Chain A
Amino acid sequence: MTFTIPIDNGDAVKIAEAESQRTLYPYVTGTSIVAIKYKDGVLMASDMGGSYGSTLRYKNIERMQAIGKHSLLGASGEISDFQEILRYLDELTLNDNMWDDGNSLGPKEIHNYLTRVMYNRRNKFNPLWNTLVLGGVKNGKSYLGMVSMIGVSFEDDHVATGFGNHLARPILRDEWHADMSFEDGVKLLEKCMRVLLYRDRSAINKLQIAKITEEGVTVSQPYSLKTFWEFSSFHNPTAGAEGSW
């Protein structure tokens, strides 16, 4: 779909010869990211699906990436826009390293930079169609924050994007605590991911968990969760639902 921006050329408002195109909706999207702070840093979970509209078209998309030495970025939303953001961040961290002076951008700096990028793009009416989660550890301090497509950003002890915001965060509010061990953290994330798998049609049963501590980032191999589909309501999900056809 093309959205044409009229450009004012002096006295007459003409349609510009070079029509400018904007992203009006995303094409290939990733669904929720769930992340929590834990004892030694931050844990983040995401599945590997890429939906083409409502078709689950890609099944091996990594949506979590290490940024520099101290940060971990997760993204839901348009995959190509996420790749563009990764290019920006590659350049940013490369330039940061080129100073070669011992200073380095921490998670807080990256988070704020991303907020500026997202807000700047939305001001051009051409947003990057993502919700980003940024976790990290620097100088012994854990950091976890989120930025939305339109540049709203905040920090919290646990965050989730998309469906996760509705389904995972209530669980996190009940069960999260600050001094969680790695094992407890992973269990909690898996609980959230399982709920999402059952209830979010875009979620797939192939996920990764990423960990960032003072030592750096590790992203797990993809794996699946055990599921149980034998509940009676799963057998005939539309039973009792009065439809128009």
Chain B
Amino acid sequence: MFRNQYDTDVTTWSPTGRLFQVEYAMEAVKQGSAAIGLRSRSHVVLACVNKAQSELSSHQRKIFKVDDHIGVAIAGLTADGRVLSRYMRSESINHSFTYESPLPVGRLVVRLADKAQVCTQRSWKRPYGVGLLVGGLDESGAHLYYNCPSGNYFEYQAFAIGSRSQAAKTYLERRFESFQESSREDLIKDAIMAIRETLQGETLKSSICTVSVLGVDEPFHFLDQETIQKVIDTFEKVPEEEEDAGEGEAEPEAAPGAAGTGEQGGSGDQDVAPMEM
């Protein structure tokens, strides 16, 4: 045996000062389909790519409402993500019960991070294999945090996680300086543009992404497919053949020819880790 001797349990250090199991958990985040988040002074937009596990199945939900003022987008092990979002919901509702006021986003994120940290220090546990983009609004404004399986958390203006998220990050890095003052509509557009970057060749359609918004006077909610498609249509050229057919706009989900739909499932399967099931 010459393989890594220091990666068989979470609590064992390698001589170079690394915890391999924790790093593997962070790898799981990279394997999940992409999720992105960005914020302005008053709004947060969370968006993700929907990838079905197989041609025969539907896709899994990757964005969850925690409360009216908090939402979360996940990448990695969806099952772990659901457990954590349930925890977040319960923390949030308990806070509202006791204090009759919304839980500050930063506090929720710290509690979540502490929960993840415990898993990196107990021999009988395993780290959560999920990265969470937590978006929320509180007294101090709009916030976007990234929570990592290692127990670390960071606040961002804009961030992307999951497979091929580097492309989205590059897009966001080019543009993030203007986000603070962005309008809600521009934020949504940038979110969808960033999503497009992660697709690499696949055509962007409303059916393969989920977009959610929250902000001042706007409780967390998902955008409907029609709204997303309208935004996509403002920058995405509709292929000419479909335009001729004349129903590209009216029925974005069903309409496009067989070529488009076939491509989607085919390339998707290889990039998604089996764990995401």
Tell me the A residues contacting B by CB distance below 8 Å.
99, 101-103, 105-106, 108-109, 112-113, 116, 139
Q: Is the CB of B100 within 8 A of A103?
A: no
Q: Is the CB of A109 within 8 A of B138?
A: no
Q: How far is the CA of A106 from the CA of B101 in the complex (A)?
A: 10
Assess A113 versus B139: contact at CB under 8 Å? Given A99-B107, A101-B107.
no
Indicate whether B98 reaches chain A with its CB closer than 8 angstroms: yes
Q: How far is the CA of A101 from the CA of B140 in the complex (A)?
A: 10
Min C-beta distance of B167 to chain A, whole Å: 33
Q: Is the CB of B104 within 8 A of A112?
A: no
- The binding surface of chain A is classed by DSSP as loop
Complex: chain A residue closest to B138, CB-CB: A103
Partner of B101, one of A101, A109, A116: A109
Q: Would you give 8 A-B contacts (Cβ < 8 Å), ordered by A?
A: A99-B107, A101-B107, A103-B104, A103-B107, A108-B101, A109-B99, A112-B101, A116-B98
Q: Is the CB of A101 within 8 A of B98?
A: no
Q: How far is the CA of A105 from the CA of B101 in the complex (A)?
A: 10
Indicate whether B154 reaches chain A with its CB closer than 8 angstroms: no
Indicate whether B106 reaches chain A with its CB closer than 8 angstroms: yes
Q: Is the CB of A108 within 8 A of B107?
A: no
Q: Which residues of A contact B107 (CB under 8 A)?
A: 99, 101, 103
Q: How far is the CA of A112 from the CA of B102 in the complex (A)?
A: 12
Min C-beta distance of A107 to chain B, whole Å: 11
Q: Is the CB of A105 within 8 A of B139?
A: no
Partner of A101, one of B97, B99, B100, B106: B106
Assess A112 versus B110: contact at CB under 8 Å? Given A103-B139, A103-B140, A139-B139.
no
Complex: chain B residue closest to A105, CB-CB: B99
Partner of A112, one of B99, B138, B139, B140: B99
Min C-beta distance of A166 to chain B, whole Å: 29
Complex: chain A residue closest to B140, CB-CB: A102
- Tell me the residues in window 90-119 of chain B with beta carbons closer than 8 Å to chain A beta carbons: 97-101, 104, 106-107, 110
Q: Which residues of B contact A106 (CB under 8 A)?
A: 101
Q: Is the CB of B140 within 8 A of A108?
A: no
- The 7 A-B residue pairs whose C-beta atoms are closest, nearest first, are A109-B99, A112-B100, A103-B104, A101-B106, A112-B99, A109-B101, A116-B98
Q: How far is the CA of A139 from the CA of B107 in the complex (A)?
A: 20
Q: Is the CB of B100 within 8 A of A109?
A: yes
Interface centre among A102, A103, A106, A139 (most CB of B within 10 A): A103
Q: Which residues of A contact B104 (CB under 8 A)?
A: 101, 103
Q: Which residues of B contact A109 (CB under 8 A)?
A: 99-101
Q: How far is the CA of A26 from the CA of B210 in the complex (A)?
A: 60
Q: Is the CB of A108 within 8 A of B100?
A: yes
Complex: chain B residue closest to A101, CB-CB: B106
Q: Is the CB of B97 within 8 A of A116?
A: yes
Q: Is the CB of B101 within 8 A of A113?
A: no
Q: How far is the CA of A113 from the CA of B104 in the complex (A)?
A: 16
Q: Is the CB of A99 within 8 A of B110?
A: yes
Q: Is the CB of A113 within 8 A of B99?
A: yes
Q: How far is the CA of A99 from the CA of B110 in the complex (A)?
A: 9
Q: How far is the CA of A27 from the CA of B107 in the complex (A)?
A: 41
Q: Is the CB of B101 within 8 A of A103?
A: no
